[in-house]
Structure 1
Amino acid sequence: MKRLALAVALLASSAAIAQSGTLSGVDKALMDDSVKPGDNFDDYANGTWRKTAQIPADRSAIGVGLDVSLKAEARNAAIIKGAAAAKSAPGSDQQRIADYYAAFVDTAGIEARGLRPIQGDLAAIAAIRDKRALSAAIGAAMRSDTDPFNNNNYASTNNLFGLFVSQDLNRPTRNVPYLMQGGLGLPDRDYYLSDKPDMAEIRTAYRAYLTQLMQLAGLSDPQGRADRVFALEMKIAAAQTDIIASQDAHKGDNPWTRADFTTRAPGMDWNAFWTAAGMPANQRDFIAWQPEAITKLSALVASEPLQSWQDWLAFHTVNQVTSVLPKAINDASFDFYGRTLTGTPAQQPRDKRGIAAVNGALGEAVGKIYAQRYFPASSKVEIQKMVANIVAAFDRRIAALDWMAPATKAEARRKLSVLKVGVGYPDHWWNYPTYAVRADDPVGNAQRAKLSLYRYHLSKLGKPVDRSEWWMTPQTVNAVNLPLQNALNFPAAILESPYFDPRFDAAANYGAIGSVIGHEISHSFDNLGSDFDSTGRLHNWWTPADLARFEAAGKALVAQYDAYEALPGLHLNGEQELGENIADVAGLTAAFEAYHASLGGKPAPVIDGLTGDQRFFLAFAQSWRTKMRDKALRARIATDVHAPAPWRVLTVRNLDGWYAPFQVKPGQKLYLTPEKRVHVW
């Protein structure tokens, strides 16, 4: 650090702190001065921390995200346990929170009930006698666990199909149902189809888990059933569309009518399917997001033996609720999905899992209390101001682009001008259909929670589009861009130190939460978001020359990330991660320029021996401080559209403004000549 700041700067730092009480926002104790910033900026910013940080036995990774999540978790625990201690009116949110948690942590009751809570479901599956009844069973199991625009998996798990209801790609004033592929017990199709040795090992372990779960569920011939389920899922995986193609909105834009499913995807009894799925009889229009997969999966319903499908339904019925079944089943599930898939040695304590379960089922109810208690109006005002500044910086960049035609530029700026930004919590809350929560029925509680969310999605059909609808709860440590709505959500829980702290100097706040804000804004202009115009319609608003320039920048970014080797022989997938990497580059650039604009022409103070630009980039790097188990890293690269955190830090090498503050020179590993730096926007 000393080589980056003069002695006079240290004096100025002390004066700045004494006069204003402003904190640097950069933790110098985490840094490793033995590493040159130009060789590995992540190690420079976080290297000392990484050398000593220990991943807890019940976690697959550790870092800033976990630190902030633990703060939210403690607050959620206070809300949930407070509800449990209070005597609330039957049917109230407080009562449902209390009873859901009580049911989840009542391990004695779970053991005593054994498998009785799912016996009725398993008996119904065993009673299926023909493909019409099978189609109805598959339809009845469908849930809203997919989102083609913001979900990493791009596929429904457990259920053969998943449903997503949002505005029409081509008529953005109406809502339509999107049908998406699913049906796998492993995270992605490549786990089944890849010939890599580590994937083969996981498949072997999965087959053993299938057998074990069938046996623990008391089903006859567990080995035979497991073999049939695995063989069927291999065919389901082969039928699915890959993760890269599933991110392409143009490939997903397939308007089908209700009648089209029968003619384009024969095999399923679609009338029985839609009736059992609760789809309104007058709903005629759909979007088939992965049409080839839907056709192939429907064909499998007809071609594969009924017994294989019954075994598959039985397995997934059990597999979806292992957390609230007896300990032997819960332990078996964790042993595979925790230890084998992510390398996590130990399961989290029951009470912590209970808090997460309540949040997953009653997130809106908990979120209302969370927002009221823990998100001050002053923070909302400050974040809204930062958002406005970063949007303005992005707009200035668009206006200054010398390669973009006036018509393309005008639509890009129009889209930015109508961007809808939600900070902290929604203006109004989701109106879930009320469902019963019982303190003695944890399995039923979990099942009814999913059904309630699914019915909420169905209830949007035939109603006007709500661009202010939120897709995250206030207690979620994350943020999201909603391309169809041309909207952003920044939940209260992520607007916490060290991402955002009102005591920090502007440089740190713009580098940390500002880069997150810029990232989400930039998603409106990444390789997916740029396909949508200012109304949310899927529409090519680019001239051919502009689009060619944009795509060339994307290809350069793909090549840059393809070159990163995370583990021996395992490289990042630049194409799979392209949208997120575009958002990282463009968002960090906009945040950096917004920070400079916020200075109002005045020089930035030197604080703690660091200049403003140094603090900006170091705060950004430290906001991605992460240490991850190798198995979890492999799983992340296989299934996630985000680059792992250490490589997101390296975004800095594409910004001209990073080089001088850290004296990055040619010959250093991260150095890029100016023409090789990818700017995109």
Structure 2
Amino acid sequence: MAVLLSQCAPEQDTPAQQAAQAPATQASTAQAPVGDTQALGLGVDLDNMDRSVRPQDDFFQYVNGGWVEQNPIPADRSRWGSFDELREAAELDVLDILHDAASSDAAEGTLEQKIGDMYTAFMNAEAVEALGAQPLADELAQIDSLGSHDDLLEYWAGAAENGRMAPFGYGISQDQGQSDQYITTLGQSGLGLPDRDYYLDDSERYEEVLAQYQAHISEMFALAGLMQGEAAEEAAGRVIEVEGRIAQGHWTRVQNRDRTATYNRMSPDELMSLAPDLAWNSYLNDAGLPDINALVVRQPTYMQYVAGMFRDISVADWQHYHRYHQLRMSAPYLSEAFVEAHFDFFGRTLSGQPEMRSREKRAVDTVDSVLGFAVGQLYVEENFQAEARERMDDLVKNLLASFEVAIDELAWMTEATKEEAQAKLARLNTKIAYPDEWRDYDCLRIDADDLIGNVRRANRCEYERMMARLGQPVDREEWFMTPQTVNAYYSSTMNEIVFPAAILQPPFFNVEADDAINYGAIGAVIGHEITHAFDDQGRRSDGDGNLRDWWADLDEQQFRERADLMVAQFDAYEPIEGMNIQGALALGENIADLGGLTVSYQAWQRSLNGEPSPVIEGFSGRQRYFMGWGQIWRIAFRDEALRRQLTTGPHAPGQYRVRGALSNMPEFYEAFDVVEGDGMYRDPDVRVKIW
């Protein structure tokens, strides 16, 4: 399980991609300043602020209002914020790498050749245009040949290997119950829209989306020359009916957060007993998994449901479903008509994005999805400063030491559980900037004249890498994000925190800013990821990454009382009229925000070694600390993108991450003299105090 920091999931489909765990040494509680605060600057652009708003009333607007006013959302974006600014900068750095590789005449098989030829293949719009839908002929013919439900099941078994959609799918990942092993996992899938609610919610907005979805599917059928007019419309309606049936069995996103409920280890025979209407032995054999003796079924009731219903749907309707999804998944690599039709629905309709991104920018996304770590290796060589890694090491040590103290001081945790928590903290591993060993792409052949073939071979390469895990020791050197990714994560089964290179720059990390700003920004981000080890789900694993309940009943009760206050707090936020944040879905991220902020504040205070923090540009150290937090969440959304985030979570929009966390912190009240009646004020009896 990887818990992410970012505010929303990526907006585009990519080919399949899938964290040095030596025991972390116990960090000393002695603190040293990360830098010379007297010599360093404010780290906040004052023009980004809105001084007409009191910080006591709306801290997000106070810190970021000027930025929001001066930075309208670009036409080719559905949202724009600090993450997006850094992603844009990383994208331009990567684009330089792609240009250089494409013009390098590199030797066959080298990283530069593969990167350059992949970019060339994507940018050759004329060649792509000439092919139209021809690259899909073989796959569409295979769908046409499906003559029975048994054939259909065999087709589903090849979904992972061949990049197909299916109502459920399998993967090979670390076993949450035995973290030193890999295991096959089986989970729900099969929807073209972002969430089950798009099918099951009968509100006017979702009905509009379904109508537009049907029109989109119909258009794709017509573009491919499969059917026209009423026939295409009727077939599109059948696709939505199939997906609606699938959605009825899907677990909700809140249910899928529950790591205990989604860990159901069983043998293939037990799977057959669970859902006897589907020939699981044949499915596993066709999937290349004939010899496994155990697997994890994430949503058992869904598997029962889909096994019981899939024969109720005609083979002809399943064929319509698969034809569309083959078109959808391939559309970004086909001729312009397919690209535009795909963007019109998934970009304009679902995300409110007015304009498509340029072909060059889409090329960056595609090359990253196929050769991400190869690109990352060159990105680090050309763009990463070693000083950032060294200062991050110091910050992480200081945060870990402060968590030691914070655990000991927890009023609600029993002593025996504190010992287990300290043991887990001591084993927490940290990865910063980039892997020590780079992933190889020897299995992947890239042809400058075969875009969709490259994408398919990349998927096959990732499939083979995934399947090779079975029976092997867990690779604890593996990274699940590339260095050029602007994000961070905690992995519960690895028990590690990971910070790619691209996030280690302003406003998250500023080597020229004083410690207060950096502790409030990247320090709180580090604390956020560490807190995930002890949030409502991360805490279910021990220091070795094994799913084990090491909390006493009293710990659970007292923690839940505090967590329920946080759920209620965020449930009450209404970013769009009639649409609130899902407090239960966002709980883990909100716990991590508050925990990270609280412990990083303590770490910063200790780093001062009793010396006062200087006043810079009229702001005290305490105030600058919270400004560091406020500015990293600057963001603006288009309405549809915000609606989508509220539906799919698990992150609250940035505005509410600022307001929500700070309104629970007494230190913030003291720094800005917040009193009853102010907009940021919450009654003491409902303030959340976990760390």
Same fold flag (TM > 0.5): yes
Could you tell me how far apart the structure 1 residues matched to 2:346 and 2:642 are? 14
Could you tell me how far apart the structure 2 residues matched to 1:517 and 1:51 are? 29
Could you tell me how far apart the structure 1 residues matched to 2:277 and 2:438 are? 40
- When residues 185 and 18 of structure 1 are mapped into structure 2, their CA distance, relative to the original with a 3 A threshold, is closer
State the partner residue of 1:3. Answer: none
Q: Which moved more, 1:670-679 or 1:383-392?
A: 670-679
State the partner residue of 1:10. Answer: none
Are the equivalent residues in 2 in contact too, given 1:22–1:504 (CA < 8 A)? yes
* Equivalent residue in structure 1 for 2:678, among 634, 643, 668: 668
Would you say 1:330 and 2:348 are equivalent positions? no
* Equivalent residue in structure 2 for 1:303, among 294, 304, 312: 312
Q: Which moved more, 1:236-245 or 1:85-94?
A: 85-94
Would you say 1:445 and 2:454 are equivalent positions? yes
State the partner residue of 1:153. Answer: none
Unaligned runs of 5+ in 1: 1-16, 146-156
**Which of structure 1's runs of 4+ aligned residues deviate more than 4 A?**
17-21
State the partner residue of 2:147. Answer: 129
State the partner residue of 1:207. Answer: 214
Could you tell me how far apart the structure 2 residues matched to 1:84 and 1:236 are? 43
Q: What is the Cα deviation at residue 356 of structure 1?
A: 1.0
Are the equivalent residues in 1 in contact too, given 2:115–2:367 (CA < 8 A)? yes
State the partner residue of 1:537. Answer: 546
2:40 partner amino acid: T
Are the equivalent residues in 2 in contact too, given 1:144–1:164 (CA < 8 A)? no
1:388 partner amino acid: K
* Equivalent residue in structure 2 for 1:115, among 133, 148, 151: 133
* Equivalent residue in structure 2 for 1:616, among 602, 606, 625: 625
State the partner residue of 2:75. Answer: 57
Q: Which moved more, 1:335-344 or 1:161-170?
A: 161-170
Q: What is the Cα deviation at residue 297 of structure 1?
A: 1.9
Q: State the aligned residue count.
A: 653
Could you tell me how far apart the structure 2 residues matched to 1:613 and 1:167 are? 42
Could you tell me how far apart the structure 2 residues matched to 1:284 and 1:432 are? 30
Would you say 1:555 and 2:573 are equivalent positions? no
State the partner residue of 1:233. Answer: 243
Q: Which has the higher contact order (CA 8 A, sep 6+)?
A: 2
2:133 partner amino acid: L
Are the equivalent residues in 2 in contact too, given 1:99–1:439 (CA < 8 A)? yes
Could you tell me how far apart the structure 2 residues matched to 1:480 and 1:432 are? 24
Are the equivalent residues in 2 in contact too, given 1:247–1:528 (CA < 8 A)? yes
Q: What is the Cα deviation at residue 544 of structure 1?
A: 0.5
2:210 partner amino acid: R
Could you tell me how far apart the structure 2 residues matched to 1:317 and 1:436 are? 22
Would you say 1:184 and 2:191 are equivalent positions? yes
Q: Which moved more, 1:665-674 or 1:624-633?
A: 665-674
* Equivalent residue in structure 1 for 2:45, among 5, 27, 34: 27
State the partner residue of 1:571. Answer: 580
Instruction: Please list, as runs of the form range in 1=range in 2, the aligned pairs for 1:248-259 lying within 5 A after superposition.
Output: 248-259=258-269
Per-residue CA shift, 1:97-124, capped at 9, x if unaligned? 1111111111110111111111000001
* Equivalent residue in structure 2 for 1:83, among 82, 101, 105: 101
Q: What is the Cα deviation at residue 522 of structure 1?
A: 0.6
Instruction: Please list, as runs of the form range in 1=range in 2, the aligned pairs for 1:441-480 lying within 5 A after superposition.
Output: 441-480=450-489
Per-residue CA shift, 1:569-594, capped at 9, x if unaligned? 11111011001000000011111111
1:420 partner amino acid: N
Would you say 1:392 and 2:429 are equivalent positions? no
1:241 partner amino acid: W
Instruction: Please list, as runs of the form range in 1=range in 2, the aligned pairs for 1:263-274 lying within 5 A after superposition.
Output: 263-274=273-284
Q: What is the Cα deviation at residue 484 of structure 1?
A: 0.8
* Equivalent residue in structure 2 for 1:434, among 426, 432, 443: 443
Are the equivalent residues in 2 in contact too, given 1:207–1:230 (CA < 8 A)? yes
Are the equivalent residues in 2 in contact too, given 1:132–1:272 (CA < 8 A)? no
State the partner residue of 2:166. Answer: 159
Are the equivalent residues in 2 in contact too, given 1:158–1:185 (CA < 8 A)? no
Q: Percent identity among equivalent residues?
A: 38
Q: What is the Cα deviation at residue 456 of structure 1?
A: 1.4
SS across alignment from 1:321: helix
Could you tell me how far apart the structure 1 residues matched to 2:337 and 2:251 are? 35
Q: What is the Cα deviation at residue 663 of structure 1?
A: 1.2
- When residues 424 and 678 of structure 1 are mapped into structure 2, their CA distance, relative to the original with a 3 A threshold, is same
SS across alignment from 1:163: strand
SS across alignment from 2:169: strand
Q: Which moved more, 1:40-49 or 1:157-166?
A: 157-166
2:241 partner amino acid: A
Are the equivalent residues in 1 in contact too, given 2:159–2:169 (CA < 8 A)? no
Could you tell me how far apart the structure 1 residues matched to 2:172 and 2:405 are? 35
Q: What is the Cα deviation at residue 319 of structure 1?
A: 0.6
State the partner residue of 2:533. Answer: 524
Q: Which moved more, 1:183-192 or 1:26-35?
A: 26-35
State the partner residue of 2:494. Answer: 485
Could you tell me how far apart the structure 1 residues matched to 2:113 and 2:287 are? 29
State the partner residue of 2:662. Answer: 652
Could you tell me how far apart the structure 2 residues matched to 1:402 and 1:550 are? 10
SS across alignment from 1:260: helix
Could you tell me how far apart the structure 1 residues matched to 2:114 and 2:288 are? 25
Q: What is the Cα deviation at residue 19 of structure 1?
A: 10
Could you tell me how far apart the structure 1 residues matched to 2:38 and 2:252 are? 54
Q: What is the Cα deviation at residue 388 of structure 1?
A: 1.1
Are the equivalent residues in 1 in contact too, given 2:37–2:515 (CA < 8 A)? no
State the partner residue of 1:243. Answer: 253
State the partner residue of 2:225. Answer: 218
State the partner residue of 2:30. Answer: none
Per-residue CA shift, 1:123-168, capped at 9, x if unaligned? 01101112222111111112699xxxxxxxxxxx943223343222
- When residues 18 and 369 of structure 1 are mapped into structure 2, their CA distance, relative to the original with a 3 A threshold, is closer
* Equivalent residue in structure 2 for 1:507, among 503, 516, 522: 516
State the partner residue of 1:383. Answer: 392
Q: What is the Cα deviation at residue 240 of structure 1?
A: 0.7
Q: What is the Cα deviation at residue 648 of structure 1?
A: 0.5
1:90 partner amino acid: E
Could you tell me how far apart the structure 2 residues matched to 1:65 and 1:230 are? 34
Are the equivalent residues in 1 in contact too, given 2:38–2:614 (CA < 8 A)? no
Q: What is the Cα deviation at residue 84 of structure 1?
A: 0.4
Q: What is the Cα deviation at residue 276 of structure 1?
A: 3.3
Q: Which moved more, 1:425-434 or 1:308-317?
A: 425-434
Could you tell me how far apart the structure 2 residues matched to 1:591 and 1:164 are? 37
Could you tell me how far apart the structure 1 residues matched to 2:399 and 2:370 are? 34
Instruction: Please list, as runs of the form range in 1=range in 2, the aligned pairs for 1:279-318 lying within 5 A after superposition.
Output: 279=289, 281-318=290-327
Are the equivalent residues in 1 in contact too, given 2:109–2:442 (CA < 8 A)? no
State the partner residue of 1:198. Answer: 205
2:360 partner amino acid: D
Could you tell me how far apart the structure 1 residues matched to 2:663 and 2:175 are? 39
* Equivalent residue in structure 2 for 1:173, among 174, 180, 183: 180
Could you tell me how far apart the structure 1 residues matched to 2:384 and 2:156 are? 42
SS across alignment from 2:295: strand
SS across alignment from 1:627: strand
- When residues 505 and 203 of structure 1 are mapped into structure 2, their CA distance, relative to the original with a 3 A threshold, is same
Could you tell me how far apart the structure 1 residues matched to 2:311 and 2:471 are? 32
State the partner residue of 1:412. Answer: 421
- TM-score of the superposed pair, with normalisation by structure 2: 0.92
Q: What is the Cα deviation at residue 628 of structure 1?
A: 0.8
Are the equivalent residues in 1 in contact too, given 2:374–2:439 (CA < 8 A)? no
- TM-score of the superposed pair, with normalisation by structure 1: 0.93
Could you tell me how far apart the structure 1 residues matched to 2:415 and 2:431 are? 30
Are the equivalent residues in 2 in contact too, given 1:142–1:160 (CA < 8 A)? no
Would you say 1:494 and 2:512 are equivalent positions? no
Q: What is the Cα deviation at residue 21 of structure 1?
A: 4.3
Would you say 1:37 and 2:52 are equivalent positions? no
State the partner residue of 2:610. Answer: 601
Q: Which moved more, 1:349-358 or 1:435-444?
A: 435-444
State the partner residue of 2:65. Answer: 47
Are the equivalent residues in 2 in contact too, given 1:553–1:680 (CA < 8 A)? yes
Could you tell me how far apart the structure 2 residues matched to 1:83 and 1:95 are? 7
SS across alignment from 1:481: strand
